[in-house]
Structure 1
Amino acid sequence: MPAKADIDFQKDLFDAATKMRGSIAPADYKHYVLPLIFLRYLSNSYELKKDELHETVNDPNSGWYAPDKDTQQMLIEDRDMYQAENVFFVPEEARWSTIRDNAKQPNIKEILDHAMQRLEEENPELEGMLPQTFQGSNLSTDNVSGLIEIFSRDVFRADDEHSVDVLGRTYEYFISEFASTEGNRGGEFYTPYSVVSLLVSMLEPQEGQVLDPACGSGGMFIQSENYTSRKSALSFHGQENVMTTGRLGKMNILLHGINADMRMGNSLLDDQFADLKADYVIANPPFNQSDWGADRISNDDPRLVGTVTNSNANYMWMQHFFSHLNESGTAGFVMANGAMTTNLREEKTVREWYVDNGYIDCIVALPEKLFLSTGIPVCLFFLSKNRDGKAGYRQRDNEILFIDARQKGSLVSRRQKALSTEEIEEIANVYHNFKYDADEVEETPGFSKIATLDEVKENDYKLTPGIYVGVEEEEDDGTPFEEKMEGLRTQLLEQFEESNRLQEKIKKDLEGLL
């Protein structure tokens, strides 16, 4: 995987962007900052291609060589020349040079809205992605010109692909920071990086169709593309129900050079990919949804393996994911812990069906505080159709791998944890070994265990890893029990003496105050 450009100025950028504070609500920052980054990206990509075309039409050895200046200019300004290379054509009034030169003008907000409009007119694929909202906002012209100044810095200049990479990473950084400042609301459009990384590392997407029916800002697609060793070997399909979130996601994946088919709509009630069978389904759905519209699901809906309940959409999401797997596909997704043990009849029936038919591959219990939207711990479910040994995997349809990772992760802020790269690799490797070679799986008490389906049934179909992995073994330091006990007794007596001494000192101090 190629090395990514280093960014050592993120915090300065974010601090500068939040100078909008007071003019608009923090939850709305992203709707102004992120489109500006995208505008800068489109302009950079266009300028790079334009420079390349300029060299081509002046090169006598190229197929596009043109000796006269008029023909050269016509070719350079031909939008088809850009579309052929998947580069969006940027009209003069939307180019960053125009935006930068007019940043101090009193009508800069109007200029920006017009630039967004012209980009959509020239590129129908961008329709609805670039909202014209600057004029109608409370942002001052100073706020807007300050943002333009930020993204006019040299590091963002269109000298080479490095600037495009930096813009993509800056966009991702801003998404995570905006999500963090929004707390619960931020969790609606952003899945923490380490959680996405764990899902992707466990699924190992290398080639084929990838579906995310709750795709948010597109992080699952970006990390999947980064994971595969073959460029463009994965085909991405996503659905998002919230228009503003879908807009952010489309911009994000384009910034990373990914051409995904992203559609709007409610995946459970209006599946936009009804006929798609994917190699990988990866998602962080909005779990524990109540009153989600179960009455609109027909009893003969082909996705159903059981019934549904309007009190909770968790198991409808599971049935939706499973229905989209091809004959050797795997689904990995985030789920509320309650889904592992729920006794609600409609949900338990579905869980029993997945266990009885050998489709549950792995359950991972995650530590608390990983998510912005909730402080409670959640888990990962993996459902697979290759457990009978298809597509190079070993036969394991009578087994389920349980991993208890609740003790993993460390605080990266006062209220949020993250998994380290080493922890992600450790968890993923256990799953990989389980899928390919059971002899390589090291069952670790308190961490990992392969259980049979009969064991799971004996435990009333409960899928909580802690039931199966047991308690972590304490390391024996070689000290005889008698010696340990005597040492503890001595230490306790010393602590009693110290406690008595401190009590006497406190009494004397209190007497001195009377």
Structure 2
Amino acid sequence: MDLIGKLWGFCNKLRHDGVDASDYIEQLTYLLFLKMAQEKGAFVPKQHDWESLIKIDEDGLLLKQLDKILERLKKEDGILGDIFSDPVSRVKNAKILRALIDEINSIQWTKFEGDIVGLTFEELIGRVANEGKKGAGQYFTPRPLIQSIVNVFKPDPLEALDFNVGDVAVGTAGFLITANEWFKEQTKGKRISKKQLDRIKNETYFGQELVQRPRRLALMNMFLHNINAQIKLGDTIYGEQDSILYSCILTNPPFGTKGANQIPDRDFPVRTSDKQLNFVQHIIEKLKPKGRAAIVLPDSCLQSDAAKKMWEFYLNADQSESQSCKLHTILKLPEGVFAAYANGIKACVVFIQKGSKTDQTWIYDLRKDFQKITTKSNMLKAEHFNDFEYCYGNDPNGNSKRTATDRFKVFTIEDVRKKKYDLSFVEVYKPEDLPQPIQIIDEMIIDYQNKIKALMKLKKDLSK
């Protein structure tokens, strides 16, 4: 079933009711959450659940019931109240609402494997953004990339009694969902105590999001995965800071310069208005000692003047443990990875560990001589990262024994210093030189001569 097409059809119904493009997602979120909560048996107060909607026959009462549900659920404690925080129903036509409810009710949404909510809504937001002429890239990281990062980083809540996972730009919670699914797969069939399961459910997954709508989706996503994630609404860089530190941070801070014209009043080593660099500094600040982070960044964060100053500070062996950083791996992503939302941006993933010294940095170049990723003909797939994961090794902090390849090269801290902390290291992957044209022509002549000989023999055999 084409779920994206189905949801887009729902949006068309909302459009006919005069609902603005920017409100499509929110209105569908309310209804889909109630339906999926019913399917999973999740707690929603009686008379304010999905069943209370579908049993109403009179169109006039339907709109009133939806308003009643939203008004009640926003008063609930915990994650349910957060999901329905400040809800407004913008559907005014009872017949359109009835049609939406009937269509949503005809689908068993939770039968689909994986992160259905995040995946479908993220593409839907992309379509809505195109219609509304607003950027959507801030919410998304392609799932194959997320899965690969999680595979090598191994965010295991059983690694330590206080192990936790954070995403400081959580979007619709793709990283947190994938991290939790990875853990479930790794521990399938293993006995885990009730105390540990309670901690994992309630005290392990954290996030922060600037915009209410993706936060609402993130909370809904985690709730439907039976995780009580703590996802704060607010500005990660400029807003009020809490004291929570993280064992592992997986994140893709928003690209672009919007909102980045102000130097934050924070005690960062490098004072800059560069939004992405401030996210890096914030992330390192929020890591526990020996904590690790994987950060998706534009290439500018490897080579701009402010970036070089920042990396010089963190990679300096003389810094204290609270400020030093081991940048052990950089993954250069193929061109077009973010084609659906921000075409043309070159991006990478940096893998760091706080409180350790950088002796060398390995760079895996998945860009050079690699076919550009597109949204249709050459979509990003999990297998694109198979060799990277093999080269990375089993240790999440980059301590596995590694072997250099055509794509995977190592640079010492002395190499980095010689380049004045410019980490771009272009042309890491050097394909083999192509043979000379005369050599190619000679090989083609020999090939054709062999084919002619074979045809002559076949002709002779047939004439006997």
**TM-score in same-fold range (> 0.5):** yes
Q: Is the CA contact (8 Å cut-off) linking 2:293 and 2:353 kept in structure 1?
A: yes
Aligned twin of 1:342: 304
The alignment status of 1:264 with 2:233, answered yes or no, reads yes
Q: Distance between the aligned counterparts of 1:280 and 1:409, measured in 2?
A: 32
Aligned twin of 1:320: 282
- Kindly provide the CA deviation profile for residues 146-169 of structure 1, in whole angstroms up to 9, marking residues without a partner as x: 21112212625xxxxxx4x54984
Aligned twin of 1:79: none
Q: Distance between the aligned counterparts of 1:442 and 1:333, measured in 2?
A: 23
Aligned twin of 1:201: 151
Structure 1 vs Structure 2 CA RMSD: 3.1
Higher Cα Rg: structure 1 or 2?
1
The alignment status of 1:472 with 2:431, answered yes or no, reads yes
1:401 Cα deviation after fit: 0.9
Q: Distance between the aligned counterparts of 1:408 and 1:145, measured in 2?
A: 49
Q: Distance between the aligned counterparts of 1:326 and 1:482, measured in 2?
A: 60
After TM superposition, list the pairs within 5 Å mapping 1:104-119 onto structure 2.
Answer: 105-119=59-73
Aligned twin of 2:342: 374
Amino acid at match of 1:186: A
Amino acid at match of 1:152: N
| Other structure's SS at 1:127 match | helix
Q: Distance between the aligned counterparts of 1:39 and 1:187, measured in 2?
A: 27
Aligned twin of 1:27: 22
Aligned twin of 1:177: 123
After TM superposition, list the pairs within 5 Å mapping 1:208-287 onto structure 2.
Answer: 208-228=163-183, 229-230=186-187, 232=197, 233=200, 235-273=204-242, 275-287=243-255
Q: Distance between the aligned counterparts of 2:258 and 2:24, measured in 1?
A: 29
Aligned twin of 1:484: 440
Q: Is the CA contact (8 Å cut-off) linking 2:118 and 2:173 kept in structure 1?
A: no
After TM superposition, list the pairs within 5 Å mapping 1:58-73 onto structure 2.
Answer: none
| Other structure's SS at 1:217 match | coil
1:202 Cα deviation after fit: 2.7
1:256 Cα deviation after fit: 1.6
TM-score normalised per structure 2? 0.79
Q: Distance between the aligned counterparts of 2:381 and 2:263, measured in 1?
A: 42
Task: From the superposition, tell whether residues 422 and 103 of structure 1 become closer, same or farther in structure 2 (CA, over 3 Å).
Answer: farther
Q: Is the CA contact (8 Å cut-off) linking 2:290 and 2:355 kept in structure 1?
A: yes
Paired-residue identity, %: 20
| Other structure's SS at 1:373 match | helix
Amino acid at match of 1:400: T
1:276 Cα deviation after fit: 2.1
Q: Is the CA contact (8 Å cut-off) linking 1:116 and 1:132 kept in structure 2?
A: yes
Q: Is the CA contact (8 Å cut-off) linking 1:329 and 1:385 kept in structure 2?
A: yes
After TM superposition, list the pairs within 5 Å mapping 1:363-512 onto structure 2.
Answer: 363-371=330-338, 372-375=340-343, 376-385=345-354, 387=356, 397-406=358-367, 407-408=369-370, 411=373, 413=375, 418-432=379-393, 435=397, 438-439=400-401, 441-445=402-406, 447-467=407-427, 469-473=428-432, 483-484=439-440, 486=442
Structure 2: gaps (5+ residues): 158-162, 318-324, 448-464
- Kindly provide the CA deviation profile for residues 58-111 of structure 1, in whole angstroms up to 9, marking residues without a partner as x: xxxxxxxxxxxxxxxxxxxxxxxxxxxxx534222x232221122661342221
Task: From the superposition, tell whether residues 168 and 110 of structure 1 become closer, same or farther in structure 2 (CA, over 3 Å).
Answer: farther
Q: Is the CA contact (8 Å cut-off) linking 1:103 and 1:148 kept in structure 2?
A: no
| Other structure's SS at 1:143 match | helix
Aligned twin of 1:147: 100
Q: Distance between the aligned counterparts of 2:438 and 2:139, measured in 1?
A: 57
Task: From the superposition, tell whether residues 119 and 103 of structure 1 become closer, same or farther in structure 2 (CA, over 3 Å).
Answer: farther
| Other structure's SS at 1:276 match | coil
1:295 Cα deviation after fit: 4.5
1:11 Cα deviation after fit: 4.5
Task: From the superposition, tell whether residues 433 and 124 of structure 1 become closer, same or farther in structure 2 (CA, over 3 Å).
Answer: closer
Task: From the superposition, tell whether residues 224 and 103 of structure 1 become closer, same or farther in structure 2 (CA, over 3 Å).
Answer: farther
| Other structure's SS at 2:352 match | strand
- Kindly provide the CA deviation profile for residues 264-286 of structure 1, in whole angstroms up to 9, marking residues without a partner as x: 1111122443x222111111112
Of 300, 305, 327 in structure 2, the residue corresponding to residue 360 of structure 1 is: 327
Task: From the superposition, tell whether residues 104 and 452 of structure 1 become closer, same or farther in structure 2 (CA, over 3 Å).
Answer: farther
TM-score normalised per structure 1? 0.71
Amino acid at match of 2:26: H
| Other structure's SS at 2:208 match | strand
Task: From the superposition, tell whether residues 379 and 12 of structure 1 become closer, same or farther in structure 2 (CA, over 3 Å).
Answer: closer
Task: From the superposition, tell whether residues 211 and 170 of structure 1 become closer, same or farther in structure 2 (CA, over 3 Å).
Answer: closer
Amino acid at match of 1:473: E
Number of aligned residues: 410
Amino acid at match of 1:459: K
Q: Is the CA contact (8 Å cut-off) linking 1:91 and 1:119 kept in structure 2?
A: no
| Other structure's SS at 1:351 match | helix
Q: Distance between the aligned counterparts of 2:44 and 2:439, measured in 1?
A: 79
